A and B are shown apart, each in its own frame.
Chain A
Amino acid sequence: MSISQHFPVLVIILPLISAVLIPILSRAKKIYGWYISSAATFISFMISLSLLRTVHVKGKISYWMGNWEPPWGIEYVVDYLNGYVLVVISFIIFLITLYSNKSVDKEIPEDKVSSFYTIYMLFVTGLLGMIVTGDIFNLYVFIEISSLAGYALIAAGRKRDALIASYNYLILGTIAATFILLGIGYLYMMTGTLNMADLRERLPALYDTTVIRTAFAFFSVGLSLKIALFPLHIWLPNAYTHAPSVIGALQAATATKVGVYVMIRILFTVFKPEFILEVIPVAKLFVMLSAVAIIMGSLLALGQKDIRRMLAYSSIGQIGYIVLGIALANRLSIMGSLIHVLNHALMKGGLFLVVGAVIYKTGITNIDDYKGLGKKMPFSMAAFTICALSMVGVPLTAGFVSKWYLALGALQAGKWVMVPVILISSLLTAIYFWRVIDAIYFQGHEVSGKIDDAPVGMLVPTFALATCCILFGIVASVPVNITNFAAKMLIGG
């Protein structure tokens, strides 16, 4: 009875216990909050690496909570899709937690820092729980845990606009979660089970009933709201702009990705792929919506003055890429989607971390004020440039790999009109990032050449993310192989 067989549960319990330990131990010394958070997220990252390796060696892991046999008990399942997303998300969370110390000290009032880290660890618990669970109502519980913590974290921003942004996100997010609860209720009413694998077996006989179609409609709307798919994206720009820098990075890099993972689970594991392709051809609708999201996200990012709002609209476009890959529903496009989950988390995380470093040092958020920062903060701006090149999709960076597979998947599905859509939005991405790079490097010649970069604790995670962008662009075999296995398991061919 080694401890490694309990890893599916430990990856959730450790952040939860650390979340409740932080208020007690922070009474002694304030910085314990950061120490405990970093330790807990590091251990979670190590556990998720070990889980992925076990899945690769032995196959799907299944953990029965309380040793109650599914479908009566709650089951935690880790397979290729799960393990991959778990490693990506826990890696990004670990790096952002390392980065957070100085930034949080500057932006959050001092007596609230321990509460901040408590809610932060609860947010992490909710995210990791969403990924690992194999029971659909447990999924709803973890969705709500992470959403509530997210609302509180976004409201911790400095200006009062953060409160309104958080309130809007709360109202919309609660509608989404309640729709998901309704969908679960309809599914339970018709099948009598809450286990995802068991639902997969019982649902095909019921595909023609109105109840199951209604359940699927509720799930689609609720999940689309959570991942900010066009036209349900309205909460996202305000939430990312006014949140504290660390929370903007965390939400942009992880929360929407986990929502996308939940969508993949519901669409391909609970409902078989033939449901969205043949029974109700919702896939066509999703393809159109994601194409609009890709173009509109990049277009709206062009005219923004605040860099965080520009990055938020850019995120809406990138979510369009990922949903496009899911909606095309063949092996190559799902591989492109999953690789883009990794890449976008790395790239957007890196970009938001650099923006946070600039805010920490100078408080600048306006793109025009970024003049001359290339001389003042050369390392941070180098990381920004690398991540921006990767967002455009320059070959040898990670962004190129995912866009390549998405284009291949679009061609294989016969929707060749998506390839010019992807190319046009890459061009638009290049334009709006060129605005920033132009301001950084080619303007502001009157600024003196003194180097005053962000502290090392903030630079190291930023550079780690930028390095991974290049690393996964040159040596793309690891993500490609893992997502190949995951896509084969989902699509079945």
Chain B
Amino acid sequence: MKDNIIIQIITRLLVPFIQVFGFYVIMHGESGPGGGFQGGVILGASIILYVIVFGIDEGRKLVSEKINDICNSTGVLIYGGVGILCMIAGGKFLEYNILPLGSAHFASHMGMLGIEIGVGMTVAAVMVTLFIETARQGK
């Protein structure tokens, strides 16, 4: 698909918009359809679109293997980290009301946002890893 210039230009225009939409879906999980997994899949899909059009090597320049592996794990660590932070602040695991961030309502929102971002990061990174490893057939 490298030679088809229309697809290349449209992809380059579209990928940032898809990513912004992905972030929007992650952030608005509490008050609309969406959430961590859905937004993460959309983010992953944007990078997969780039890899499909431009090839695996170009895709790897965009998201190097080291960054990919680190993002795989960091999302789950953020999730666990928020939970353990709640335990340290004196509540049970994932009890967001206790966090010392102002009112309980605001702390609850921030906690949920934190774990949604963690989940979104892991899902996006795993989607990209799955696609690239499948396309390369493990070579």
Which stretch in A58-66, A85-93, A381-389, A406-414 binds the other chain?
A58-66
Q: Is the CB of B69 within 8 A of A24?
A: yes
Q: Mark contacts of B83-97 with chain A using CB atoms, 8 A cut-off: 1 yes-contact digit, 0 otherwise.
A: 110010011111111
Which B residues are in CB contact (< 8 Å) with A66? 92-96
Which one of A16, A17, A24, A64 lies within 8 Å of B92 (CB-CB)?
A: A64
Interface flags for B65-89 (1: CB within 8 Å of A; 0: not) read: 0100110110011001001100100
Contacts A13-B83, A67-B97; A20 near B90 (Cβ below 8 A): no
Size range of the chain B interface in the assembly: 20 to 34
A16 to B96, CA, bound (A): 20
CB distance from A374 to the nearest CB of B (A): 42
Q: Which residues of B contact A20 (CB under 8 A)?
A: 72-73, 76-77
- Shortest CB-to-CB span from A28 to chain B, Å, is 12
Whether the pair A6, B92 counts as a contact (CB closer than 8 A) is: yes
A23 an interface residue at 8 Å Cβ cutoff?
yes
Which residues of B (85-121) have their CB < 8 Å from a CB of A?
87, 90-98
Flag whether A289 is at the interface (Cβ < 8 A): no
**Bound form: Cα–Cα A237–B93 in Å:** 40
Question: Which among A16, A17, A19, A65 has the greatest number of chain B C-beta atoms within 10 A?
Answer: A17
**Which residue from chain B places its CB closest to the CB of A76 in the assembled complex?**
B93
Chain B interface main SS type: helix
> Any chain B CB within 8 A of the CB of A456?
no
From A6, A16, A23, A64, contact of B80 by CB (8 A) = A16
Which secondary structure dominates where chain A touches chain B?
helix
Closest to A8 in B: B93
Across the interface, B76 reaches (CB within 8 A) one of A1, A17, A67, namely A17
- A9 near B70 (CB under 8 angstroms)? no
Q: Point out the residues of chain A lying under 8 angstroms from B69, CB to CB.
A: 23-24, 27
B73 touches A13 (CB 8 A): no
Query: Which residues in chain A, 58-112, are within 8 Å of chain B measured between CB atoms?
Result: 63-67
Contact A65 B92 (CB under 8 A): yes
> Tally of A-B residue pairs with Cβ under 8 A?
47
Asked whether, in the complex, the Cβ of B73 is within 8 Å of the Cβ of A21, the reply is: yes
Question: A78–B87 Cα gap in the complex (Å)?
Answer: 19
- Chain B residues with Cβ below 8 Å from A13 are 80, 83-84, 93
Nearest CB on A from B113, distance (A): 15
Scan residues 1-52 of chain A and give those whose CB is less than 8 A from a CB of chain B: 1, 6, 9, 13, 16-17, 19-21, 23-24, 27
Q: How far is the CA of A173 from the CA of B61 in the complex (A)?
A: 39
Shortest Cβ distance from residue B68 to the other chain A in the assembled complex, whole angstroms: 10
**Does B94 lie within 8 Å of A65, measured CB to CB?**
yes
- Chain B min CB distance to A20 (Å): 4
CB distance from A352 to the nearest CB of B (A): 29
Question: Which B residues are in CB contact (< 8 Å) with A6?
Answer: 87, 92-93
Q: Could you tell me the distance between the alpha carbons of A64 and B95 in the complex, rounded to whole angstroms?
A: 9
Task: Give bound CA distance, A65 to B77, whole Å.
Answer: 18
CA distance A27 to B76 in the complex (A): 18
CB contacts (< 8 Å) of B76 on chain A: these are 16-17, 19-20
Interfacial residues of chain A within 112-146, with CB under 8 A of chain B in the complex = none
Could you list which residues of chain B lie within 8 angstroms of chain A, going by C-beta atoms? 66, 69-70, 72-73, 76-77, 80, 83-84, 87, 90-98
Which 10 interchain pairs have the tightest Cβ spacing?
Answer: A20-B73, A67-B95, A20-B76, A9-B93, A66-B94, A67-B92, A66-B95, A17-B80, A24-B73, A1-B90
Binding site for B on A (CB under 8 A): 1, 6, 9, 13, 16-17, 19-21, 23-24, 27, 63-67
15 more CB-based (< 8 A) A-B contacts, given A21-B73, A65-B93, A66-B96:
A6-B92, A9-B92, A16-B80, A20-B72, A23-B69, A23-B72, A24-B70, A27-B69, A63-B92, A65-B94, A66-B92, A66-B93, A67-B92, A67-B97, A67-B98
